[in-house]
Amino acid sequence: MGLLLLTLASALLSTYVPAGSRVEAQRLFTIRAVSLTVEPHPDGTRDPVVTRDTNVTLRCQAVVSSSGPEALVRKYTIYKDGSDVYTKTSSSSEDLLYPLPAARVSNSGKYKCEVNIEGKSMASESRKLTVTGLSTPLLHLNKGVVTEGEELTARCTAPGETGSIFFYFYDDTKEIQEERVNSNQVEVRLRFSSAGIHRIHCAYTVLITPDSFKSQESNTVVVSVKELSISPVLEVSPTDQVFEGDRLDLLCTLRSFVHNTEKIQLYLSQGTQLLSTGSTRVNHSMVARASGPTLSFECRLEMGPLFKSATKTISVTELFSVPTLRVSPAEVFQREAMTLTCRSESVASERLDRKELVYTLSPPENPLVAVGTGVFSGKALQFDFNYTCAAEAKGIKKFSQTLTVRPKVLVSVPKISVYGKAVLGQPIQILCHSDAGSLPINYTLLWGYDEVDVRSVRLPFDKAIFTVSITKPEELSKYMCEARNSKKEVPPSKRLNATVIEPLTHPTLTVIPKPDEVSEGDHLVLICGVRGTPPVTFKWYRVGTIEPLNFTTTDNKHKDYQIPRVSNDDSGTYYCEAYNSANGMVRSEQVTIQVRMALWKKAVIGGVGLLVASLLVLGVCVLYFRSKRGKREAAAELSVKPSIPKSDDSLAETLTHDSEASHAPTDAAPFYDGKEGRATNGTRDSVAPPPADLSNGSSYSAPASV
């Protein structure tokens, strides 16, 4: 335990650093700038261009500020085209120098310098160095004289060059070989297949992504190639007056054969077809066929990389031509009779009689039967069918091109209809269409039985549309159409049966009761009527409003809008609009309605006026009688002894009773209907005849009884 404590104490003492020392260990610094320069600068630019063999130096300079006097450890890295090419660590603050002695084209590229100090790093801007000039290549051959197929060694050198280099070898101006290496020289093996003088030179290209630099041509070396005393020989028999069916014998051999350690192989071919092969002799026998104007044969010798060939071409006369297959008639309809004729137009009469030709029709399951030499007859199918015929004689068989018979479909009885809608007074489009029938189809529009116009439909989406004009709806039913796609006649269509839409006209707005007889509480009916073809959409408007009061669609030519109990607020100007499928709108004339006061209101006002007038008359009478009586009483007091008169209240009561009795209506009093202008009997809502108009200066007289 004591030993453990001692060890821990020693460790603590060893790790103890005075405060001042700790500040110096954690010294502060910053990398202010890093720059890269290329020396020398022959053109004074930041991206210099130097010639080959120039001693170039890349200088990397770092500007660092630190808090202590000691130099910091710096790690320098030089990059070329993104790849590091040089790294150095230094405790000195001096610039890093990266030399490129005797610069080559391969040294061309973009360079950059990076400085790293204790984890902090900074990179300079890129500088592009371009080195121009390549050394002239040197060519060396190990032999100057060779025989055909003999191998020689060629070496091309690019003195002093480095990097990735492509070497090219040329025979005169023709490039014969290419090699890529990472050194300044390459060796290749060359062979020559043709005898004679060959002039060989080389060149190279230094690849520096993304650029490349090509050198000049090397020296030229002359090579003399001697011909081998060996060659292929081709013999064909016969060579003249060869006809199809004749037997051809071919022989491929060697001439002036000399011993050679390499394996020899012969190949006998006709075009791209290999007929036979062997080592020193090849035989082949075949029947001549005129596959073209001539037949070409080749005998080819291959001995290692060496090859030689001999060719021969012969003409073969055609025994008979390739047959042609034709159909009659040219336009065939389903289930109608047709004839196919197979015939070879030309025959070599000196070798073949035309009667020897045998014609067959394929496929065997075809529906036609032979009715003569090369003639086949029967009925067309209801679908497309492919036919091929063959002509054969003396073992030669030739086939015609495939003939596809596409039976046409007879056009069906056409149908006639209106395309769109028929509006009286506007152009009307009529469509003629058949549900079945092969194109092209000619459609004829008839009026009655007179031809009006013709339309030809040649494409599947075309339509036979005719434009006509009518003045009366019944004229449309006289149209019909015909359809034809062959000489065979097809019945015409039925007559056109379509509804002719008559545009709306003569709009009217009828008001019940009459506009000047509408009173409060009346049932108001606004009837809108038109002439034209229903269905019709009616709309009622009141001037001053945007939205219609009501709208409806009906199959009738008139429709009403009702207001069950009108009031004074319903007074105004009204009109209606009407629409139908002719896309036209018509509007009626405006009608002004002024709602009058109700009759019962007039009666009440008249009764109140009569009552007021009666009261006024009564008051006048009372005053009159009072004044008369006062005068009589005064006279009596002067002549006779005064007596005790009745009280005024009793007299007023008597007069009031008499007046009410004289003006009370009886059960038989007549009722005046101010609205209708007639009198009726009854007590309900009865009103006495109106009093005379007092405004004109006339006076009202009280009843005589009063």
- Residue 529: both structure tokens together: 């009527």
Beta-bridge mates of residue 138: 157
Indicate the pLDDT class of residue 675, thresholds 50, 70 and 90: very low
Whether residue 37 has pLDDT greater than 80: yes
Q: What is the mean pLDDT of residues 36-59?
A: 84
What mean pLDDT comes out for the span 668-672? 35
- Specify the pLDDT at position 13: 41
Which residue, 161, 48, 34, is CA-closest to 109? 48
Question: Residue 313 above 50 pLDDT?
Answer: yes
Angle, in degrees to the nearest 10, between helices 599-639 and 648-663: 140
| Residue 507: φ, ψ to 5° | -75, 140
Residues of the chain with CATH 2.60.40.10: 24-132, 138-226, 231-317, 324-405, 415-501, 505-593
To 10 degrees, the CA torsion angle through 182, 185, 191, 192? Answer: 120
Indicate whether 693 pLDDT > 60.
no
- Greater pLDDT, 427 or 688: 427
Indicate if the alpha-carbon torsion angle 45, 48, 49, 53 is positive or negative. Answer: positive
Would you say residue 159 has pLDDT above 70? yes
Pick the CATH number of 415-501 from 3.40.1180.10, 2.60.40.10, 3.30.1360.200, 3.20.20.70: 2.60.40.10
Residue position matching structure tokens 């080749």: 298
Strands, E assignment, 532-634: 536-542, 550-554, 558-563, 572-579, 585-587, 591-593
Rg of the chain in Å (alpha carbons): 65
How far apart are the C-alpha atoms of 580 and 75, rounded to whole Å? 95
The mean of the pLDDT values for the chain is 83
Nearest to 321 by CA among 285, 361, 349, 286: 349
Q: pLDDT (tens digit, 9 = 90+) per residue, 565-601? A: 999 999 999 999 999 988 778 999 999 999 988 766 7
pLDDT digits (tens, 9 = 90+) for 445-491: 999 889 999 999 999 889 999 999 999 989 999 999 999 998 888 99
CATH of domain 231-317: 2.60.40.10
| CATH code of domain 138-226 | 2.60.40.10
Percent of all residues in the chain with a pLDDT value above 90, rounded to a whole number: 54
pLDDT, tens only, 105-141: 888 889 999 999 988 999 999 999 988 889 999 999 9
pLDDT of residue 162: 87
Q: How much of the chain, in percent, has pLDDT values that exceed 70?
A: 83
Q: Give pLDDT, residue 512.
A: 93
- Separation between Cα atoms, residue 46 and residue 49, nearest integer Å: 10
- Pairwise CA distance, residues 289 & 315, whole Å: 10
CATH superfamily, with its number, for domain 505-593 = Immunoglobulins (2.60.40.10)
Higher pLDDT, 599 or 400: 400
Per-residue pLDDT band for 674 (boundaries 50, 70, 90) equals very low
Q: What is the per-residue pLDDT for 259?
A: 57
The per-residue pLDDT for 273 is 92
The residues near 28 (Cβ < 8 Å, ≥ 6 apart) are: 66, 67
| Per-residue pLDDT, 42 | 66
Cα(20)–Cα(39) distance, integer angstroms: 45
Q: What integer pLDDT is reported at residue 290 of this predicted model?
A: 81
Residue 258 has pLDDT above 70, yes or no: no
Q: Express each pLDDT in 611-641 by its tens digit.
A: 877 788 887 887 877 777 766 666 655 554 4
**Domain 24-132: CATH superfamily, name plus number:** Immunoglobulins (2.60.40.10)
* 8 A C-beta contact, residue 522 and residue 513: yes
Q: What is the CATH number of domain 324-405?
A: 2.60.40.10
Q: How high is the pLDDT of residue 257?
A: 60
What pLDDT, on a 0 to 100 scale, did the predictor assign at position 121? 93
Rounded to two decimals, the pTM is: 0.45
